[in-house]
Structure 1
Amino acid sequence: MRILHICPTARIESPLAPDSLQYLGHQIERLGLEQLNSAASDLSAADVIVADACLDLSLAPAIAEAVARARISAPILVVLSEGGLATASAKWNVSDIVLTTAGPAEVEARLRLARDHHLSTASYDTPSRGGGGTSTASAPSMSGGSRTESAYGNGSWGSESDPMIVVSGALRIDETAFTAHLGKRSLDLTYREFALLKFFAMHPERVFTRDEILLEVWGDDYYGGTRTVDVHVRRVRAKLGKDFENAIHTVRYVGYRFSPDSAAARGDSANVHDDPAAAHNGGAVSNTDDKSEPDKVPENDKMSAHDKVSAPDEESAPEAQPESNEEDVKV
């Protein structure tokens, strides 16, 4: 694989980032940011661009813009320090991020996935990364969903004014501020509950198995079982409230489907907007750990009529807590 490594300086003595990149045996060409435009014609064959923004986070969007101006069509993998993760943004227009301390296996996997995804979408997208063209297919996003140009309607992600807003029915999710609102009511969600609800909102009316949800929301490095999906779905349903909880519908023996516009999900608009259980923190993701407070699922929801009819397989075992204390790390 041919990798173009862009860093603040092209000095040979400066270390590669991530550190493990040197052990993978790929063909690596190093350039300083100031050299990018002059060498653009020779770099069009790069499979992946690795942008080193460890020391200066402003380099991430700067490198993406320089790549766009140079009309280099290749996925961009940004290297960050752990402290820089909080600033990562889809507005950078990059394919993925990786920590400078990532091991060889992780770096190799991210390089391969970035390259393969770029190749798979190249035949559908008109090259438009800064080149003035128009894209005919949805562009990849860092959150795993698809970016659409409309900010309205179910499952839309992004708009010209704010590309980080997810709107699905009465549900509105701000990915940048980590807030979620149902009508006028704010939702008090943990980090993992927020990620789960956002995933559902971005894929309305699609049925996902528990394994698929676990992979998309928890990631392939999570080693717990799918029961944690059921636990978190219960929590999210409880926080959505009785008038909207059925938006997350259980598909018997399969998984879950999010149907924000179903008759059962719409409920009474007054209740949606003025639920007395509205959170006190403006809808921000909760900073309290799930393990430090009991699971706030209403008593009558522990075996609701919906669950009895739709998914008796879920109720065959008592509700379990998530397998890992790390899965709900707060923002």
Structure 2
Amino acid sequence: MPEMRNIIIIGTDHTIQAYAGALERDGFAVSAKGAASDSLSAAADVVIVDLSLAGEDPVAKSYLEAAAGGQAPPVIAIVSPEQLSSFDPARDIEDFVLAGAPAEEVAARARQAVWKRHRVDTKNVLKCGDLLMDLANYTVHVGGRPVELTYKEYELLRYLATNQGRVVSRETLLSRVWGYDFYGGARTVDVHIRRLRSKIEDRHNVFIETVRNVGYRFRAGV
């Protein structure tokens, strides 16, 4: 099994409850800190900070200051509509979401932050026949040949491969890879799957099956 990535949520009880479950289902080991809690010492790959606490919470403030100095893990800020007019997108924050954003969107942004960071962990490898995925370094090889994928292609492959043998609907792929706020349709998934197949498959290697009128399945026991 791939090694879990660590994420810290610094926010209100409501924020923690809203996002912790989805992040855990997405493969993150979640540490949470409420406004009245002691500081956390857990090493993190990503930190989510509720900006409503930035002025009053010393731990939230310390992570934001460390991010400004380039000495912190990627920080994803949760910004309320009231804070939006004064929020500076040029500050050293990896990404931000509006308060109340769907948990799946927050999880997708956390995955992308880890992608950009390219953490090294040689144990974090998934092998399916001739296909080798390094889930920490975000690399893919087929038959020893490196394959260049876009972020969305990689996320599609990762989700299908980690659900090997299961049929995954187009709607599920849209929500897990693009997020619930994406307005594209099933054709978006089909186009990306076709491009992905053209890069990883040939007459000797067929990894992804189309399940008519439903979605796709990564072949078990490839």
Partner SS state of residue 215, structure 1:
helix
Q: Which moved more, 1:164-173 or 1:253-262?
A: 164-173
Residue 8 of structure 2 is matched in structure 1 by: none
Within the candidate set 11, 20, 34, 1:4 is matched to 34
Matched, 1:54 2:64: yes
Q: Once the 2 structures are TM-superposed, how far is the Cα of residue 248 of structure 1 from its aligned partner? A: 0.4
The 1:177–1:218 alpha-carbon spacing in structure 2 relative to 1, beyond 3 Å, is: same
The CA RMSD measured in Å over matched residues stands at 3.8
Q: Deviations over 1:224-245 (max 9, x none)?
A: 1111111111111111132355
Match of 1:198 in 2: 158
Q: Hey, what's the Cα distance between the residues in 2 that align with 1:51 and 1:247?
A: 46
Do the aligned partners of 1:53 and 1:78 also contact (CA within 8 Å) in 2?
A: no
1:197 maps to a residue whose letter is: L
Write out per-residue CA displacement over residues 51-92 of structure 1, whole angstroms, 9 at most, x where no aligned residue. Answer: 86233145559xxxxxxxxxxxxxxx964987553xxxxxxx
Q: How has the CA–CA distance of structure 1 residues 59 and 187 changed in structure 2, closer, same or farther, with 3 Å as cutoff? A: closer
Q: Does 1:32 align with 2:62?
A: no
Looking at secondary structure, tell me which structure has more strand per residue: 2
1:323 aligns with: none
* Structure 2 CA distance for aligned equivalents of residues 51 and 224 of structure 1: 38
Q: Provide the rounded CA distance (Å) in 2 between the counterparts of 1:172 and 1:83.
A: 34
1:250–1:51: structure 2 CA closer, same or farther, 3 Å change rule?
A: farther
SS of the residue 1:102 aligns to: strand
Larger Cα-atom Rg: 1
Listed as ranges, the matches of 1:168-317 within 5 Å are 168-243=128-203, 246-259=206-219, 261-262=221-222
Q: 1:225 to 1:214 in 2, by over 3 A?
A: same
- Contact conserved, 1:169 with 1:260, CA < 8 A, in 2? no
Distance of aligned partners of 1:32 and 1:55 in 2 relative to their CA distance in 1, 3 Å threshold: closer
TM-score, normalised via structure 2 length: 0.55
Higher relative contact order (CA 8 A, sep 6+): 2
* SS at structure 2 position matched to 1:242: coil
Deviation at 1:246, TM superposition (A): 2.8
What is the match of residue 104 of structure 1? 99
TM-score normalized with structure 1 length: 0.39
* In structure 2, C-alpha distance between the alignment counterparts of 1:104 and 1:253, rounded to whole Å: 36
CA distance in 1 between counterparts of 2:135 and 2:180 reads 22
Where in structure 2 are there 5+ consecutive unaligned residues?
1-11, 14-32, 40-48, 79-88, 112-120
Letter in 1 for 2:34: L
Counterparts in 2 of 1:103 and 1:185: CA distance versus 1, 3 Å: same
C-alpha distance in 2, partners of 1:84/1:261?
Answer: 42
Instruction: Report how many aligned residue pairs link the two structures.
Output: 156
Quick one: distance in 1 between partners of 2:189 and 2:100?
27
Runs (5+) with no aligned partner, structure 1 = 9-16, 23-27, 34-49, 62-76, 86-98, 115-141, 144-160, 263-331
Distance apart, 1:189 and its partner CA: 1.4
Using the aligned pairs only, state the percent identity.
Answer: 30
Out of 163, 167, 189, the position equivalent to 2:127 is 167
